[in-house]
Chain A
């Protein structure tokens, strides 16, 4: 396969950035999208040029580092996958593909397709944990958690912090991310101790980072690689309001 690429190149944070055209030849439909970029990069290095910078680590959809906008969609075409799980068989020979970094004030572009996602880390540091002492080990049967509740907490915990929800949202809102992180703890006994301060602090930090508000567009749910449901946003709102009293 031959793919025509338009890739966002930006030297550093101060550079204005621009699209540059590349052609990826000899692409196999079995390759992942990132492997296709690897090949383009090998060619670039051989020609003495700087390769396209992009984040990646696990390449199996669990670390959350590989996000990019592909033809205007966060993580590209397909549902429930991260960029690293997108394969070239989703494209046709001769296709043109536009690749950009996430665009949001809270995610400044560091270089090419790499963005700075530390705003998410600061939201987590504000309250996305439990600090209760563990003490001895209670008997597993002493704390019963109904299966549907455990399942829902697990679904929320599947969030990999990739930022696609922010990138897909017209308001650059981080509500889906924050709601997943609040939900997973609010649903379980371990999360009860800090339940009210957690949601208040995380939302305060979210606002400080300049993420927008939610206007029920649901683009986040559609593009989330872990298919986190917007019902978690409803729970987040409820937790936040309940924390005021």
Chain B
């Protein structure tokens, strides 16, 4: 669901732990509109990372609702009273319909049940000022590069970046690159091409040759669960340590025991998925390692050991005011950290507060 729903929806949980009553039967006085209580000036409009962590906290502490107990209510009753059902439909109709389709519940009459999900990466590849990656001639635009994201990769910031990169930067930097370089025709006989082809073929042959016992989906779920539990919205040293022992194990097992049927010379969705999951495993491990390394809370990365009394992210600018670019050294080898210092000339970073 989109975060924009919090514009008019009110978030709450029952005041009593493990309350299984129908939300309609829980009177006002027994509801905890916890965002409004904790953040009187911003209320339900606190930024996504704050709202997410508070929801997780509520569920972790036993106040979660629904069968899974992994949800909080997002209630449109007041908005409908105030604005009318038609106005709410005009604004959020498509999202509310989508919710109804997924859950079979009508969000106009029953509060929605929501739970935050993780964006493991908020943007990704390192780029220079012209948006070119470390590979000459490969430009990375929009969300796929690392440049503009903080703790809140909302749809709107992704959209903004797509527009800004696409309209204002790429037309100049890409054409400059094309104009100032000479490009000879590349043949598929080139050594680089052959090498790349051979390495992809080798990976494919290796995957097809394993013929183990477990499916790609099973490994995907197993690995994903560890990521979700220990490398998610809130992390701590112990959890990350656990993740860093579990993840490599799952990955090693994948390469010995995955089962892919069909062959490599036809459309083979399992084979494709296996390669994606293999990439996810490499990236997942890297994220866990980086999270372990960064002993502060900052942006989308929240370490439970490093928070203010108000539960806000506590940075350590002395040690970590840098962008971490990890150099890949090949499978199973330790990545090398390159630090790119962050220089704040005019606007100095401060502690934000939404109280």
Binding site for B on A (CB under 8 A): 11-12, 29-30, 32, 38, 41-42, 44-46, 48-51, 53-54, 60-61, 78, 80-81, 85, 87, 89, 110-111, 114, 134
Contact = CB atoms under 8 A, between A and B. Distances in A.
Interface string B247-283: 0000000000001111000111110000000000000
B261 A48 contact: yes
A87 B217 contact: no
B101 A11 contact: no
B267 A87 contact: no
A111 B215 CA distance: 21
B262 A81 contact: no
Given A12-B267, A48-B261, A50-B262, 20 more contacts: A12-B266, A30-B104, A44-B261, A45-B259, A45-B261, A46-B215, A48-B259, A51-B261, A51-B269, A53-B267, A54-B269, A60-B98, A61-B98, A81-B101, A85-B102, A89-B104, A110-B267, A111-B267, A114-B267, A134-B167
Prevailing SS type, chain B contact patch? helix
A78 B104 CA distance: 12
B338 to A, nearest CB: 33
B276 to A, nearest CB: 11
Interface string B62-91: 000000000000000000000000000000
B57 interface: no
B101 A85 contact: yes
B97 A80 contact: yes
Interface string B158-170: 0000000001000
Contacts of A60: 98
A204 to B, nearest CB: 29
A45 B215 contact: yes
B102 A49 contact: no
Most buried by A among B167, B216, B260, B262: B262
Contacts of B97: 80
Contacts of B317: none
Prevailing SS type, chain A contact patch? loop
Interface residues of B, number: 20
Contacts of B218: 42
Nearest to B266: A12
24 contacts: A11-B266, A12-B266, A30-B104, A38-B217, A42-B215, A45-B215, A45-B216, A45-B259, A45-B260, A45-B270, A46-B259, A48-B261, A50-B261, A50-B262, A53-B267, A53-B269, A54-B269, A78-B101, A85-B98, A85-B101, A85-B102, A87-B101, A111-B266, A111-B267
Nearest to A32: B102
Nearest to A89: B104
Contacts, number: 51
A61 to B, nearest CB: 7
Interface in B112-128: none
Contacts of A29: 104
Contacts of A32: 102
A45 B102 CA distance: 28
A208 to B, nearest CB: 26
Nearest to B213: A46
B14 to A, nearest CB: 23
Contact of B104 (A46, A85, A87): A87
Contacts of A44: 261
Contacts of B260: 45
A51 B37 CA distance: 51
A240 B215 CA distance: 52
A61 B343 CA distance: 42
A32 B260 CA distance: 24
A111 to B, nearest CB: 5
Nearest to B214: A46
B102 A87 contact: yes
Nearest to B217: A42
A224 to B, nearest CB: 14
Contacts of A81: 101
B77 to A, nearest CB: 24
A201 B268 CA distance: 35
A43 to B, nearest CB: 9
A181 B222 CA distance: 42
A155 to B, nearest CB: 11
Contacts of A87: 101-102, 104
A49 B259 CA distance: 11
Nearest to A86: B101
B3 to A, nearest CB: 15
A45 to B, nearest CB: 5
